[in-house]
Each structure stands twice: as C-alpha cells, then as structure tokens.
Structure 1
Amino acid sequence: MTFMNRWKRALLVLLPLLIVVAGGCSQSSGTAGVVTVDVFQFKAEISQQLDELKAEFEREHPNIRLNIQTVGGGSDYGASLRAKFSSGDQPDLFTLGGDHERDMWLEYLEDLSDQPWVADVKEVALDQMTVDGKLYGMPMNLEGYGFIYNKDLFEQAGITEEPQTLSELREACEKLQAAGITPFANGYQAWFVLGNHFANVAFAQQPDPEQFIAELTEGTATFMGNEIFQQWIDLLDLTLEYGNPNPLSMDYSSQVSTFATGQAAMMQQGNWTQVQIDGINPELNLGILPMPIHDSDTNRGMIYAGVPGNWVVNKNSKVKEEAKTFLNWMVTSEMGKRYITSEFKFIPALDSIEGTEEDLGQLGVEVLKYADAGKTLSWNWTRLPNGMPQEMYSSIQGYIGGSLTREEMLEQFQRNWDNLSFQ
C-alpha cells in the first residue's frame, strides 16, 4: 500500500470522528451550551450573600453562569463602571442610581417594561428609572439612613428620650462623653458618607429640594446665601466635636466595626449595615435617630429614605435574556425572595415580596416605622450634576482637614456646581 493510499484510508476513518467533534463544539457554543452573565454591582455589604444566591440560581439553571464583581464600600463604583465600558469589558447586568445616572447610561439600557415583575414595583420606586413611560431598571430595595445608635449605651449614659433637635443631640453627646463613651464613629474617609448621604441632608431639608436644585443651575440661588446650608455645617461641626480622632482616616468598614464593637454610640449610616453589624455583634440593641440641623419644628424627627440602586440590563449584551432570567428569578422564586429579605436584609421594593421583622432586622424595621409615619425626606444626590457628590466630598474633606473655612467650602460648592452644570 502506497503512502498516499494509507493517508486516504486514515482520513476515511477519522472523518466521522471529526464531524462528531465539530458538531459537539457547535452545540456547546450555541444556545444549548452554558453561557456566562457578567454582573457588576456596588452593594459591598451583600457580596457574600449574593455569591451564595448565585450558587442557588446556577443549581436551578445549569445553562447559566453568573460572574459577579462587586466594587463598593467606599470605592468609586461609577468610575470603575466607566472604565469597564471604556475598555470594552461591558457587563451584561449592572447597577445604577437614578435620574442623572440613568440619563448618562440610557443608550446602553434595555427597556424592561414588559417584564413580569414590573406590576409589583412600589410606586415610590418607579420614578428613578422611568423615561417616557418606559422602565429601564429594577429597584434593588428601599433604604433609609440617619444616625444609627446603640440603645444600651444611651441608657448607660442616662439618655431616656431620643434627641430630635440639634440642641438635644448636643446634650446627648455631652452625657455620652461624661460616661466615657465616644458619641460618634465618623467614617469620613468613605466618599459616599459625606458626598452622598451627609450632603443630602442640606438638600433634603430645603422647602422644595427639586426647585432649589433647579435654581442653583439657573443661577437664582446660591450655596453661600442659603441658611439651611449654614445650619447643616453646624451639624457637621457637632459630629466632629464629639467624634473619633482623625475621622478622615476612618473608612467604611472601620466605622461599622468601631460602632458594632461598642466603641462609639452612634454612626451616620443606614439599614444596609445590618448584615455587617450582625456579623460582628448580633446582640446589639439598635435604633435610628434623625440628623437635626436646627431646633425648630420644621422637618422634625425625619430620616432619609429612597431607592439606593437599580438593576439594569445592557441592551447590547448577547446574553441579555439570561440576565433578565436571573432578575425575574430573584424576585419571583421563593429562594430569591428569601434572600432579599432574610439574607440581604433588604426592605423590598416590590409589593409581591414580604419581609418579617426577623427578616429585615432592627434597622429595616426602624426605617419602615419612619416611612409608615410619613417621617422621611428625599434622596437627592442622583439629581445633582454628574460628579458633584465627589466634588462636594473633596470640599468637605478640605473643611474637616482645616484647609477651608465654611465660607470657602460653600464657595467651592458653587464653583464646581457652575462648572459641572454646563458640561
């Protein structure tokens, strides 16, 4: 047998095998194969629980894999997300705030109006992601924040009533300090603590926050001439006077840990910290106080509540249907709903999900208590010009560090607002 004949015979033997292998490869790379959904999100406090939920989902959906990346807890999620898109590494499913963030990313967002969970979204959670009657995001949850406090330490210091005014808060701080207890754990290294949550206090306390924001942009209002911003600085000064040394060096995790271990009686945070606090000391007796900026009855006894983020689907993704499958499963399956309330400790943004007091934790129950009583003020940082919260954070840090006076801080706010409004 010649070499050529031997080669032909070998080819005839191998050809059926090659066809089978080629067919197998084609199938695995098609719709019947396993696909991966890249998920990018900022809720650092649920990263471990989300990984556990991922395993449950993949067990029920063996053809879908979730690749979850979390950037949060003080890191700049927005900058990281922009970097991903700039590099071409676009996630299939990611999280966004509303208003300006929604508009900035709108060209990438899938219309989710036809999804089965949409009819169950609470009315208060719809506005952030709705444009021209179309819904572009699924709200993650409802949240509220103020001064979380340790009720046992308050009792130890002889504080029998919750402080509702700035003067009453100062009196409580003096009693705590006299009892050898640090009043505040100030995690002012974390940009969102100052740039989002603390700065929002001054916006939310305005008679009409949206109108005030519009007037700032129109030039008919200024930070320097606003009495509420002056009062807001008084509250900031009080937290510094009765807080831990070197607040600009304390990050988010250290702040929560300091509070949870009983080293401070209060911290400016919200119900999202319940999981981390429970991981350190589940026996703490917790409550949430208002963040008062004056002694009048205006907005007395209010905390701040809203939707912290929304799940959105990249409309250019090749696996966007699988991403929608995960979202739908998370809010309709018994497993997913259990994780939202019992494991994430989220206050549900959908009427179809119910959480018990045991599920939501003490802080979630506190937020619901304020919400049910109509004692909540709005979240406004998503209404600000893009990049303004980060600029305010930098200016507030300058004030805390002593390089800016209160007037200079407000002047910086104004310059940055004017610059960003026209970009």
Structure 2
Amino acid sequence: MKRISKITGMLLLTSAMLAGCGGGGGNAGTEPKENGEAAAGKEVTIKIMNFKVEIAQEFTKLKEEYEKSHPGIKLQVDTMLGGDDYNTQLKARFASDEMPDIFNNEGYSQMDPWVEHLEDLSDQPWVSDVIDIAKEPTARDGKVYGMPMNLEGLAFLYNKDLFAKAGIAKLPTTLSELEEAAKKLEAAGITPFINTFDNWFGLGFHALNNPMAKQPDPNAFIKGLNDGTATFTGNAIYEDWTKLFDLMIKYGNKNALTTDYNNASTQFATGQAAITQSGNWIQPVFDKINPNLNVGVFSMPINDDAALNDNVFVGVANNWVIYKDSPVKKEAKEFLNWLATSDTGKTYLTKEFKFIPAFKSIKADPTGVGSIGAEITKYIEQGKVLGWHWAKYPDGFAQESGASMQKYVAGKINRDQLLGEFQAAWDKMKAK
C-alpha cells in the first residue's frame, strides 16, 4: 500500500469539497486530567470523524450529554453519509492539514498507511478489558493503536412475519433450502430479496467476505493470493458463492443497481421484501422506520454443506483511533476512556447505539442491542461464527471487485470473467 505522504498532492483538490459539522463541549473521562488545553483552562474542541451513519442521531445525543457533564470541551462530530467516501475524505483532510482528532480505522492492512500517524493507546485503562479477538485488528509490534467500536454480525436478515405467511418453518442452512424458501415467498406474492447493489461497499466488503471466510484457512489463502500460489479462478468456494449471488439476483428486486442503502432499508422495514444482507448495525435504522418489525437472522449458504454454512460473520465493526499530532490528544483519550468505562458511556454503547460490546465487563442487554444483536449474540455463544477479512485486502481491491460484481449483475460479464477480474484486481493492487 502507498504511504499517505505519497498521495498528498493528488488529494489537495479533493479537500476543498469537504464540509464539517458544528459541535459542543465536554471535559474529562474517568482518567485524571493531564496537561492538555483543558487543563490550562482553555475551551477545547475534539474533532471526531464518525464512520457509522446509523448512529448519527444517537451520537448527537451523546455529544450533548457529554458536553453538559464536562464543561470546557466541545465535541465536533462529523458523520460521513457514505461508507465509500470515508477513506477518501480522511486522506483529503490529511492532505489539507485538517485531520480529525479521533477517527475510525478498520485495522489490519487498512491501518498500514496510517500507523505512523496514530497514537499508541497501549497504556489506556480500557485495553485490558477488550475481548482478545477485538484487539487483533489494531495490534502492531506489541502495541495497541485503536479502541474497538463494537462487535457486529453480518448475515441474512429476514422478516419473521413474511416467512410465516409463506409457510417457511425451518430457516435455510443450505443453498437448496434457501432457493426453496425463495420460491415459497414468491408464491405468496412476497419479494424474497431486497438487494442494494448501487455501490461497491456491500458488495466488495460484505458479500465477498462470504467465500473468503469459508476458505479452510482464510489467512493462508490471502497469503497465497499475495505470493501467487492461490487464485480466485478455479477456487471451488468462490465458484459456489457465485451460485448464491445468482440466487439473490434472480429472486431479488429488479432495480437493485439503483437501489441505495436508505431505500433498501425502508423497503425491508416496511415489509416490501423478506430478506436482506445486513447486520445488527442497522437495528437503529429499522427501529426508526418500524419499531414493530419482527426481524431475525440466518446464515448465507453458498452450497449444500450445512456444516460449512450454518454460521454468521462476526468481527470488529471499526476502531476509534487518535491522530498522534492532535493538539488535544490527551482530551481525546479521556473521551474514549469515558465512553468505555463510565456508566453513561456504557449505556450509550449498548442501549442507544445498540452495539454488541467488545469489552469483557460490558454485557449486551437483549432489549438494548435489539432483536438482531440478540440473535447474533446467540450465534457467538454457540460458536457458529466466521470472521471478517476485508480489512486484510489490498487497498482498492474491494472497490474494484464491487464494480466487477455490478457488471455481473448487469449481465456484462459471466462467472469466469467475474472471478478473473477479481484476480486481476488483486494482482494489480497487492504489495510488490
């Protein structure tokens, strides 16, 4: 991956198009005050660049509450409206010397361009409380550079009432069972899938994680892609996955390439389709649209091997990181510590944000995390989970593979060409 300094010139023009949101204030967490601006009696603004649009309103409430209880510190929260814009805008802000103090990073290879610009958080009080698997994405050379936002599960979400109406008594765990369920839904006058294929994010990240996670050893497969001993073309798991993709297209909404995230969420929440690919991060969105939505979770089968397919994909949704050259990094640390350790912060994580916590001492409340989070938690407790791997991809691969999948949906390329384009994109973008 290219270092940030090498892309600065290219991004100077992009930064002119960026706009930020206004903020409020707050002061200390549970950590004792250090020699920051707030300690000197000056009003401080902590600029936060938030990736998760689903919690935008809840974050505003948190901001207001933090400011009331912590006079002297302002929180300027800027929530991105599209996942595919986040990294581009972040790089542009770096290029124009307008970096946020706190921002999001997925870790693994996505942290490579940023690690030299991140504050080491290894000595923070919450580090020892993080679930072991949640430390992994931002651990590097014995140091921890990020605080995990939460755990999330990716799967098929389904409308339980529509399944009941179609007479589907057993949740599908194989591809054949899924197609049978789709046929029953159609026979009952119900659109089986609501797909949102208008951007690369849900394709290159979420959909394509399925065959990667189901490799016998995903990390070994990624290593093989990098050293040339493994390929997408000819890989049986990826070939099987295309059959699931075909099924979603065949039994899905006809305008999927122009159906965006908001429209798909609304259509699903209002009962216009029975199944959608998503995760517990969407619970706050559904609750606003239809608080009575009876929604559940099931696996994303690519073939008829039930043992391979009866699982969901769980990982750290994102991580909070701190810009090491921030003039208010001490106050930024205090805010993150407050979020992870105070009663108010814990309440926001579990009840307002409806997160599955990534901390040992914070327990998910089923009534707080919502029905989706509660069912994802059951999969976690049963050990029926596979990981998230897109943060390990070469920079830009998810975007290009998502674009190839859009071409496939449009009928411009066939399966072999699709896998071939995946291979060409990886080969072009992998580290030399």
TM-score (norm 1): 0.92
Q: Could you say which residue in structure 2 is the equivalent of 1:126?
A: 135
Shift of 1:127: 0.6
1:90-148 CA-partner distances (Å, limit 9, x unpaired): 11110000101122200110000111111110111011011111100000000001110
The reply on whether 1:295 has 2:304 as its aligned counterpart is yes
Matched AA of 1:137: G
1:253 and 2:262 correspond = yes
The structure with more radius of gyration? 1
Which residue number corresponds to residue 62 of structure 2? Answer: 53
Provide the rounded CA distance (Å) in 1 between the counterparts of 2:320 and 2:418: 35
Equivalent residues in 2 for 1:204-243, closer than 5 Å: 204-243=213-252
Deviations 1:168-205 (A, max 9, x none): 00000000000000000101113221010001101011
**Residue in structure 1 matching 2:318, options 294, 309, 315:** 309
Q: Which residue of 1 aligns with 2:394?
A: 385
Residue 74 of structure 1 and its aligned partner are, at CA, apart by 4.3
Partner SS for 1:128:
helix
1:201 maps to 2:205: no
Which blocks of at least 5 consecutive residues in structure 2 are unaligned? 1-36
Greater shift in the superposed pair: 69-78 or 197-206: 69-78
* Alignment-derived partner of residue 411 in structure 2: 402
Q: How far, CA to CA, are the matches of 1:371 and 1:29 in structure 2?
A: 41
What is the root-mean-square deviation in Å for CA atoms of aligned residues? Answer: 1.3
| Cα distance, 1:355 vs structure 2 | 2.5
| Aligned residue in 1 for 2:31 | none
- In structure 1, runs of 5+ residues without a counterpart are 1-27
Greater Cα offset, 206-215 or 77-86: 77-86
Say yes or no: does 1:135 pair with 2:144: yes
Cα distance between partner residues in 1 of 2:390 and 2:94: 23
> Structure 1's 155 and 65: CA in aligned 2 closer, same or farther, altered over 3 A?
same
Question: 1:229-251 CA deviation, whole Å, 9 max, x = no partner?
Answer: 11111000000000001101011
Q: Does 1:366 align with 2:372?
A: no
CA gap 1:77/1:152 in 2 versus in 1, 3 angstroms? same
1:273 aligns with 2:278: no
Is 2:153 the partner of 1:165? no
Q: Secondary structure at the match of 1:184?
A: coil
Equivalent pair of 2:150/2:355 in contact (CA under 8 Å): yes
Within a 5 Å distance, the mapping from 1:68-147 to structure 2 comes to 68-147=77-156
Residues of 2 paired with 1:369 and 1:320: CA distance? 38
Per-residue deviation, 1:360: 0.9
Which amino acid in structure 1 is aligned with residue 76 of structure 2? N
Question: Post-superposition shift, 1:30?
Answer: 8.5
Q: C-alpha displacement at 1:300, in angstroms?
A: 3.0
Q: Distance in 2 between matches of 1:164 and 1:299?
A: 9
Partners in 2 of 1:422 and 1:110 — Cα distance?
25
Give the direction of change, closer, same or farther, for the CA distance of 1:225–1:317 in structure 2 (3 Å limit).
same
Q: After the TM superposition, which parts of structure 1 deviate over 4 Å for at least 4 consecutive aligned residues? A: none
CA contact (8 A) 1:73 1:253 kept: no
Aligned counterpart for 1:352 among listed residues 355, 361, 365: 361
Higher mean alpha-carbon deviation, 127-136 vs 64-73, is at 64-73
Aligned to 1:66: 75
* Corresponding residue SS for 1:94: strand
Query: CA separation in 2, counterparts of 1:414 and 1:311?
Result: 32
Question: What SS does the aligned partner of 1:76 have?
Answer: helix
Give, as a single letter, the amino acid of the residue that structure 2 aligns with 1:281: N
Partner secondary structure for residue 91 of structure 1: coil
* Percent of residue pairs identical: 49
Write out per-residue CA displacement over residues 358-393 of structure 1, whole angstroms, 9 at most, x where no aligned residue.
Answer: 111000111100011010111000111111111110
Displacement of 1:72 in angstroms is 4.1
Q: In the alignment, what sits opposite 2:161?
A: 152
Within 2, Cα distance between the matches of 1:379 and 1:144?
A: 9
Distance 1:243 1:91, change over 3 A: same
- Whether 1:419 and 2:428 are equivalent positions in the alignment is yes
